[in-house]
Structure 1
Amino acid sequence: MSTNNNIAKPKRRSKLRAKMGMLYYGLLRKLLWIKLKPVFAVKKADAALPYLHFCHKTPLLRKLKDVDMWYQYNKIINLKIAVKQINGIVLHPGEIFSFWKLIGKPTKHKGYVNGMVLRNGTFTSAIGGGLCQLSNLIFWMTLHTPLTVTERHRHGYDVFPDSNRTQPFGSGATCFYPHGDLMIHNDTPYDFQLVVTVTDKYLEGKWYSTKAQDYRYKVTERNHEMKGEYWGGYSRHNELYREIFDKNGNYISEEFILSNSAIMMYSPFLCDSADKQR
């Protein structure tokens, strides 16, 4: 089934325009932080809350085509610094978790180093690079809880082909300081706590709560499509839904989560003429 999405050919903006845009949107973000300051989650707890709602882990090192491994070794350094700022944070009813409000701006002074970032359809290095793995993990886990994601961003480019993918395309959340944030609202009457650790091999995360799970969630992909665009490139699209089950595994309902559209920076596998005739 086609999603009937079309993506315009990307425009290359001047460095000056890009810088001015960052300043403008950065100012708007800081004004928003001032407005929302009373409801941001800021308190941590050493002991985990009693009920585990969801856990997930992702490998720290993964071989990517044409990407030197030093990017990923530096990413681990950056993750360890960032995790210290959010590990144990408690999200009380009515509060908002803000990825960047808690972590702050990644700088050399704080110990951050150059890591891989995706920009304009390719990869480069920047201070604090690699923190998207952390925002990806938190977003994916949150989709399996009753918490509400109020802000999430997706890369406009699909840079690398699927390699041992275990989650649907577009199920992550990119981050770029300060206005590319991940925000999560606790509109339940119970406390939730985020626990994140960096082990020897994995980035591991868990959402705990003061209330046991009433429901279980399953994220599914639909209407996945790769297609050629009129300007010669390829694009990729899909929709994500969340199926809801009770504690006994009985299906209750489903809800639409989001749709994704991205420009592909690699050629998709195309079937040959014989396959088309089948």
Structure 2
Amino acid sequence: MGMLSLRPIKRSQLRIFVGKKYFRFKRYIEWFNGNKKYALTRLNKNLSYVMFSHQSLLLRQLKDIDMQLQYNKINNLKIAARQLNKIIIRPGETFSYWRLIGNPTKRKGYVDGMVLHYGKVTVGIGGGLCQLSNLIYWMTLHTPLTVTERYRHSYDVFPDSNRTQPFGSGATCSYNYLDLQIKNETNNTYQLHIYLTDTHLVGEWRSDARATKTYEVYEKDHSLSFEYWGSYIRHNKIHRKVYNLNSELIDDEFVTENHALMMYEPYLEYKQSHVK
């Protein structure tokens, strides 16, 4: 991959506006005139078997970020979670994050939250929903479901303080053209269970059949490079090990490759820790 493609490009507000309209229109055509069969059915009872579960902290103190945006994010997550909770994906169906959630507008109850726009923190209606797409993507990597569309974060905005997952193991989202789509290519039905506690966003993938494999997601070839145009680029590859029920390794699969423009001094924490 040419790192020149990660060099920030200044675009006019008009170009950004027209571009969004164009790509949103293309997505609407795909949703309603394409050949995919989308998952739209909700099953009120839980399927029997938990395939994988995960939770992420709702409130994080981020440097120079107003905590009110974090509280607003919780409001937005509650609304979006209701649209996804209990959705089932039958064999052959595709889960579309944005088709199920819809456009996060003020009329639906969404409020201003934190939005990352070209590597900068801004404010926008419905901000914070990337935490939900990140959670779903991470859980899906631990199941036999197939991720057919996912967009990586092009900017690395915050340092790795208390990071518990590999860099680049999330999925960015922007209505509706940066979507997360997951296809069920198995013979079993899957169900997404999403809810919030007082402290965490919680998710589960459930199924009507027991798991026959387990997965371990990890990173390889992590590195930093300094580009001639004056910025650091962070690189890695995401893989997953596949085990059978006897905990025997049966496969080691490449998942994706990440490259992100770093928006902070990469060795700052190291330098600070060595200051006498």
Shorter chain as denominator, the TM-score bin is over 0.9
Native 8 Å contact 1:135 1:174 kept in 2? yes
Identify the residue that residue 13 of structure 2 maps to in structure 1.
15
Identify the residue that residue 135 of structure 2 maps to in structure 1.
137
Match of 1:104 among 85, 102, 107: 102
Cα-to-partner distance string for 1:83-125 (whole Å, 9 max, x where unaligned):
0001000100000100000000001100000000100111001
Identify the residue that residue 244 of structure 1 maps to in structure 2.
242
Amino acid at match of 2:178: G
The equivalences for 1:18-97 within 5 A come to 18-36=16-34, 39-97=37-95
Identify the residue that residue 162 of structure 1 maps to in structure 2.
160
Whole-angstrom CA distance in 2 between matches of 1:36 and 1:105: 20
Whole-angstrom CA distance in 1 between matches of 2:72 and 2:152: 23
What is the Cα deviation at residue 213 of structure 1?
0.5
> Which of structure 1's runs of 4+ aligned residues deviate more than 2 A?
4-9, 35-38
Consecutive unaligned residues of structure 1, counting only runs of 5 or more, are: 273-278
Native 8 Å contact 1:106 1:127 kept in 2? yes
Whole-angstrom CA distance in 2 between matches of 1:154 and 1:129: 17
Q: Structure 2 length normalisation: TM-score?
A: 0.95
Whole-angstrom CA distance in 2 between matches of 1:60 and 1:229: 35
**Percent same amino acid at aligned positions?**
52
**Count of aligned pairs between the two proteins:** 270
What is the Cα deviation at residue 5 of structure 1?
5.8
Whole-angstrom CA distance in 2 between matches of 1:200 and 1:110: 22
Query: Does the alignment pair 1:6 with 2:3?
Result: yes
Native 8 Å contact 2:36 2:94 kept in 1? no
What is the Cα deviation at residue 174 of structure 1?
0.7
Cα-to-partner distance string for 1:174-217 (whole Å, 9 max, x where unaligned):
10001010000000010000000011000000000011000000
What is the Cα deviation at residue 248 of structure 1?
1.6
Consecutive unaligned residues of structure 2, counting only runs of 5 or more, are: 272-276
Whole-angstrom CA distance in 2 between matches of 1:123 and 1:133: 15
Whole-angstrom CA distance in 2 between matches of 1:248 and 1:64: 42
Identify the residue that residue 275 of structure 1 maps to in structure 2.
none
Native 8 Å contact 1:221 1:240 kept in 2? yes
SS of corresponding position for 1:39: coil
Match of 1:227 among 216, 225, 228: 225
Native 8 Å contact 1:5 1:261 kept in 2? no
Identify the residue that residue 193 of structure 1 maps to in structure 2.
191
